[in-house]
């Protein structure tokens, strides 16, 4: 911390600042919902096809079909998240959840992730999952890095400028009502 440049005032924009725990947690939840949906659809389709395969039933291979379904399901459950994370991290530095929440992963030197970094980060996910300590570390770390970020030498930063004007619709409706009420008064 002693050698770190510290900004005294709050930054004018969030772009490039370290992303915090809640944003990353919600992005992670969105990603896992997507992955679970994809895995469920693929596993259901494969199971349906295997069960509809008539030879297995005629030959008394029900158990074999079940075993194949389990193996295929397990393989898909592992493969889909791996492909999802590695491909999206390499292509865009962000998954769908991270894109929605406006955060991106970069290397500590500011460059894009390489395949090696992605694999290291995924292994880091497993390490972080031990008692969730690696994830909770984001809350106390100075650069908001989890164990997986430290292992892969990555940062997660905001990729959207906070200065986007947000005009809540509710406020506009309220303004209209107030104006209408003012006018109706004598």
CA distance 79 to 70: 14
**Nearest distance from C-beta of residue 81 to another protein, angstroms:** 18
Looking at beta carbons only, is 44 or 100 nearer to another protein? 100
**Nearest distance from C-beta of residue 67 to another protein, angstroms:** 27
R_g over Cα of the chain = 24
Residues that bind another protein (CB under 8 A): 1, 4-8, 10-23, 26, 91-93, 100-102, 104, 106, 108-112, 114, 136, 139-140, 142-144, 155, 157-160, 162, 164-169, 172, 175-176, 179-180
CA distance 144 to 156: 8
Looking at beta carbons only, is 126 or 179 nearer to another protein? 179
CA distance 156 to 104: 6
**Nearest distance from C-beta of residue 70 to another protein, angstroms:** 25
DSSP, res 18: B
SS3 95: coil
CA distance 41 to 37: 6
Looking at beta carbons only, is 101 or 151 nearer to another protein? 101
Looking at beta carbons only, is 128 or 159 nearer to another protein? 159
The token pair that represents 45 in the structure block = 């389709």
CB atoms within 10 A of CB 40: 13
**Nearest distance from C-beta of residue 20 to another protein, angstroms:** 2
Looking at beta carbons only, is 4 or 63 nearer to another protein? 4
- Listed residue (141, 161, 143) closest to 107, CA to CA: 143
**Nearest distance from C-beta of residue 142 to another protein, angstroms:** 6
């Amino acid at each position: 911390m002693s050698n770190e440049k510290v900004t005294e005032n709050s930054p004018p924009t969030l772009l490039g600042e370290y992303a915090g725990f809640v944003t990353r947690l919600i992005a992670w939840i969105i990603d896992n919902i997507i992955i679970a949906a994809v895995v469920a659809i693929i596993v259901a389709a494969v199971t349906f096809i295997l069960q509809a395969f008539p030879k297995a039933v005629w030959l008394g291979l029900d158990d074999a079909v079940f075993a194949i379904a389990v193996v295929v399901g397990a393989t898909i459950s592992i493969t889909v998240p791996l492909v999802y994370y590695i491909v999206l991290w390499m292509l865009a530095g962000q998954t769908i959840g991270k894109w929605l929440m406006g955060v991106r992963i970069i290397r500590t030197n500011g460059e894009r992730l390489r395949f090696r970094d992605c694999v290291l980060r995924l292994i880091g996910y497993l390490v972080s999952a031990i008692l969730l300590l690696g994830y909770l570390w984001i809350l106390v770390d100075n650069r908001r890095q989890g164990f997986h970020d430290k292992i892969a030498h990555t940062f997660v930063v905001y990729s959207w400028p906070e200065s986007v004007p947000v005009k809540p619709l509710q406020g506009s409706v309220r303004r209209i009502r107030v104006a209408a009420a003012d006018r109706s008064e004598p």
